[in-house]
A and B are shown apart, each in its own frame.
Chain A
Amino acid sequence: MSRMLMAGLTRAAPQLICLAVILLLNWLAFPGFFDMRIQDGRIFGSVVDVLNRGAPVVILAVGMTAVIASKGVDLSVGAVMAMAGAVAATMTVAGYPLLVVLLAALGTGVLCGLWNGLLVGFFDLQPIVATLILMVAGRGIAQLITEGTIVTFIDPGLIFFGTGSFFWIPMPVILAVLVTAMAVLLVRRTALGLLIESLGVNRSASSYAGVNSRLLLLLIYAFCGLCAALAGIIVSADIRGADANNAGLWLELDAILAVVIGGTSLLGGRFSIVMSVLGAIIIQAMNTGILISGFPPEYNLILKAGVIIMILLAQSLSRTGFLHVLRPAPTQTAEAKVKRA
């Protein structure tokens, strides 16, 4: 067991070093970074803050990992967050009990995911194209639900999911850990992990081997929708309201970035949920770092762009060797594509 742990740590070394450097820089910029204190039955401190604020993206990244491993992508998660938040807020205000509110909001996410999965798995649309539809229409639907206003609520039950804590630990962190643990159990204790990877690497060969790829895709996108809905509930509970315009804005991109930083290839196949979670934490640590250094929070957009370019460069180098970059090699690619066709 410890050998497996060591192997895992070695594989995660670049990401762990990256996180360590960012945390170190944060500490240099703000010496109190690692301070923690307990107040009102809850831990406070910058590190906890990173985890707390990073929770929605962590949860999104868990769902997105499964989608990307299947050689897809889900652009609609931000819009689904807005929809789920809108459903939760509106129903709470209308006086429905908490359980019904939560089920309805999560159900919204699953429904959106099933729609995406239907388009990708059964109608064979490209994932980008299929999920673009909800990305565009989703915010409109969310605004339809909230009737264009920011619906605020005071229901303590729902608010608890955003700002509450349990055994001193903030609720979003608990939820993120729970989702991660359940997802890891689900893919590693059942056959789903193997089947998703096989589907992502070679869908045709997987079908020949009897993998039910259509149903599997449906399930993957539905799960991603569920994660998005949970993230949406947390975000709206945090601000005690549903903002259809801004809830989850650009978070689909953060989620994709988290998965890519975690080392799962955009071309599908091998994936690691834990690594994606690590990727999401790295992103949040960068956000927090920029914030406490006194820069405007939007500066980290440049940082993210830099990170994407570096990763793409690194992946390209490791895929084809250093020469590939220096020498235009499209003829090889073209030939490979002819063979595939």
Chain B
Amino acid sequence: MNTRLLPFYATLFIGVLAYLICVIQFPGMFSTRVAGNLLTDNAFLGIAAVGMTFVILSGGIDLSVGSVIAFTGVLLAVLINWNGVHPLLAFAIALTLTTLFGAAMGLIIHYLDVPAFIVTLAGMFLARGLCFVMTTDSVPINHEFYTMLQSLYWRMPGGGRLTFIGGLMVATFAVGILIAHFTKFGSYIYAIGGNRASAELMGVPVARTTVGIYALSGFLSGLAGIVFSLYTSAGYSLAAVGVELDTIAAVVIGGTLLTGGVGLVAGTFIGVIIQGIIQTYIVFDGTLSSWWTKIVVGILLFAFIALQRILVWLSTRKASALGAH
């Protein structure tokens, strides 16, 4: 078995186990209704997490995700409600801006050769600040197109609803998997995450790919912002605080190595669902409080980082046993 995929199998195992425990305790959770809600409630998180997966796979990090989601929400509210722009056009404007925003961060990271976390930290401040410049109020979005999108769903067998945004998340993951494994861009991401210097020697266009990765993350954060505004029907400057941490946690729990190069987009999907299951469990239980989510996520985060560390340690020990050096 490929040891690099071990974290992914561990995620899969934990995900299934968690779900089984829930179902044994609360048989009500075994329904497509709950499954549909899981997808809907975590749609924006999942979409942003796909972008974060690519960033982390390349060995970087993007702290601006939550702020960009809030920025998109506020921008949409302002455009649609106050300026009468059609939502579709507003979506296009928002996605263009967030993509450019990500690309700009990628440019700075690559050409100034500075750590991604400090650049995206500036991005986080900037995006959040721009929200406040537009408005500090929570602006509701009322538009028939929004109502139409919100009421779109596909009734699954068993009565569950796969909503438009839930479906969009699943579609995003599908496209993400295609990008990761069936495009040159995807292979370049893994290559840079594996070893930037080697990748460069092998002819990988490092500059173009780095900018592309952060642009993609910006685009997906924008998409997550659109989904979030559909989910909440409002734009609010203080929304989605700390979502970047949730997405990073989902990516790591999904089995992606935080140092880059190893991981699967599909793993992130399970990571998102595990977080959703924990929340659902807490709701079903009724006596537990919401902060347990953070603690359990923290413990899982530690467990996965420790697991990866042990795997790396084992593989270097194997390597040093093989070679003389």
Contact = CB atoms under 8 A, between A and B. Distances in A.
A325 interface: yes
Interface string B176-210: 00000000000000000001110011000011000
Nearest to A136: B298
A203 B52 CA distance: 31
A337 B128 CA distance: 35
Nearest to B122: A308
A313 B113 CA distance: 10
A316 B112 contact: yes
B110 A330 contact: yes
Interface in A294-341: 296, 298-306, 308-309, 312-313, 315-316, 325, 328, 330-331, 333-335, 337-338, 341
Contacts of A129: 258-259, 305
Contacts of A315: 114
Contact of B136 (A73, A266, A296): A296
Interface stretch (B143-151, B161-169, B228-236, B284-292): B284-292
Interface footprint category on B: 35 or more
B289 A143 contact: yes
Contacts of B128: 298, 301
Interface string B106-139: 0010111111011101111110111111001000
Interface footprint category on A: 35 or more
A138 B248 CA distance: 16
A104 interface: no
A36 interface: no
A35 interface: no
Nearest to B257: A129
Contact of B197 (A130, A140, A253, A338): A338
Given A137-B301, A244-B291, A309-B122, A302 B200 contact: no
A139 interface: yes
Given A140-B297, A308-B122, 18 more contacts: A125-B305, A133-B305, A137-B301, A140-B294, A141-B298, A244-B291, A249-B241, A256-B118, A296-B132, A298-B128, A298-B136, A299-B129, A302-B125, A303-B129, A305-B123, A334-B197, A334-B206, A337-B196
Interface of A: 73, 123-126, 128-130, 132-144, 147-148, 244, 249, 253, 256-257, 260, 266, 296, 298-306, 308-309, 312-313, 315-316, 325, 328, 330-331, 333-335, 337-338, 341
Interface of B: 61, 108, 110-115, 117-119, 121-126, 128-133, 136, 195-197, 200-201, 206-207, 237, 241, 245, 248-249, 258-259, 289-299, 301-302, 305-306, 309
What are the 10 A-B residue pairs with the smallest beta carbon separation, nearest first? Answer: A137-B298, A140-B294, A302-B129, A143-B291, A301-B129, A305-B126, A308-B122, A298-B132, A140-B295, A305-B125
